[in-house]
Chain A
Amino acid sequence: MLSLNRVTKQYGNFTALEHIDLEFSQGVYALLAPNGAGKTTLIKMLATLIFPTRGEILWHGDDIVALDASYRELIGYLPQDFGYYRNHTPREFLRYMAAVKCLKRDQAAQRIDELIDLVGLSEVRGKKMRKFSGGMIQRVGIAQAMLNNPQILILDEPTAGLDPKERVRFRNLISSLSKDRIVILSTHIVSDIETIAGSVILLKDRRLFAQDSPAAVCATLAGKVYETDAIEDIRVPHLLLTERQENGRTVTRFASEHDCGESAQSVNPNLEDVFLYVYRDEER
């Protein structure tokens, strides 16, 4: 189990994260917060790129700082901006990464072939990566993160810049990888995690706002989300969430603490509603 005990990270006088307590066991954990809320700081601390100013991060009770290389052997990391060698094939690139991760040569060769198949790049395994799409590059990124069969897979904004088809494919891949490990992914794209995350972590004002299953997080807004095609008739204070066109009408989805009676229909909240509601004061 990976746990954070009252973790605080400061950069000079600026506090990026404060008193974060979290626990991770097997499954997909989605860090959901707007840009600049501290997601990447938290991810980087879990990946040992930066260290807490106060508090500790423990792996089965041992400080990851003290575990040093033996902790790094347990993690696979895909950063937000994943660089790669454009003139190398996925196989060559993965062979290099396997060496840097100190995998034995024969073990690595077999693992590389397995991973190339797993991420669906078998047909292009011999092609140079400069011709690859964003989605294919991300899949190479996942493959490199999986080389050491990590117990903790850390993905920072893995679907940023991918087209919808690639995003779905990527989601399915992450879901299949989470069966026997901890997968921690940060995102601000709600649809990425709605179906695959077992637990959603919301950060707000540099602190942990909530950690629960998507259903439980959505339940916090139960009875507060409505839809109407006549928003101008709503007299109680409310927060506009989304709008859509339906049969020539504009259907507005909104949240309100007050009962809207018959002028609007109560609907089940989804993660996007929660996101917009929780971060209503943040700049969008």
Chain B
Amino acid sequence: MNDFDKNASIDTILDRGLVKPPAAGERIGSMLRELGLRFIFWDTGYSLFFAALTFGCAFVLFMLMPEESGASAAVAIAPLLMLLAVSFAETSERLGGLYEIKQTCRYTIRQIAALRVIVYSAAGTVLTAIVAFAGANGEGGFLSLFPLCLAALFVCSALSLSMLHRTRNEWFHALFTAGWIFANLALGFAAGERWENLLRGMPAALSIGFAVIGAALFVWQLSKMLREVKPYAIA
């Protein structure tokens, strides 16, 4: 920011005071009250159906995976439902001609999308528990694998929110989903057993640490998006 812009911003702040945006929790509450779940998920039915269908196919493949790839496959598949739901629903939202209009409404479509991501992530958390249980093959590794899967889910959720926030590109999120699948496949092929052993051998405390960092990232991005007040004074 140059001196002119800096001085203008300071003048504006001194003149009008700082605007305190509502807390993320308040924003979620007011959106749920005023919009209701029906309108938050309006017109996402087809997208969510196809996301669930695609995830179902992936889950069947996951269950057929050999036991020795269980942990790496579990980490790869843990955020998949959330990624697919965001890809299908938000890509179709952005391709629809109402995206711009919805950006001019009281709650912008990006804030509504953030609210949807919370629900996708909540559903993803339940599935992650199932996936981690299956991936650990009923052994004692569940306590280590579950937080790792959660970390993958939260980091992907945080990145999804960040992308929804930063880019207007319709296809960017679909690319991210494809990239996640590709990266995990590539890792599986390139590192093979070593990657699997690394995940299985991860101490539970470290896994939980990753999950906490992932959750913190997710909450931070979520709060940023829900409390969004556009760049202040001199944009």
Contacts and interface: CB of A to CB of B under 8 A. Distances in A.
Nearest to B235: A51
B39 A72 contact: no
B100 interface: yes
Contact of B35 (A48, A85, A100): A100
Contacts of A232: none
Contacts, number: 92
A53 interface: yes
Given A51-B230, A99-B36, A102-B34, A68 B19 contact: yes
Interface residues of B, number: 33
Nearest to B231: A51
B199 to A, nearest CB: 42
Interface string B90-106: 00000011111111111
Interface in B1-60: 5, 12, 16, 19, 21, 34-36, 38-39, 42-43
A54 to B, nearest CB: 7
Contacts of A79: 97, 100-101
Contacts of A96: 39, 42-43
Contacts of B97: 79, 81-84
A77 B35 contact: no
B96 A83 contact: yes
B107 interface: yes
A69 B19 contact: no
Given A83-B97, A100-B107, A54 B230 contact: no
Contacts of A78: 101
Given A48-B230, A97-B101, A100-B102, 18 more contacts: A48-B103, A53-B235, A56-B233, A66-B12, A68-B19, A69-B107, A73-B106, A77-B100, A77-B104, A79-B100, A81-B97, A82-B97, A84-B98, A99-B35, A101-B105, A102-B35, A102-B107, A144-B101
Interface of B: 5, 12, 16, 19, 21, 34-36, 38-39, 42-43, 96-108, 112, 229-235
24 contacts: A47-B100, A48-B103, A48-B230, A49-B103, A51-B230, A53-B235, A63-B16, A65-B230, A66-B232, A72-B104, A72-B105, A72-B108, A79-B97, A79-B100, A82-B101, A83-B96, A83-B98, A96-B39, A97-B105, A99-B42, A100-B39, A100-B102, A101-B106, A102-B34
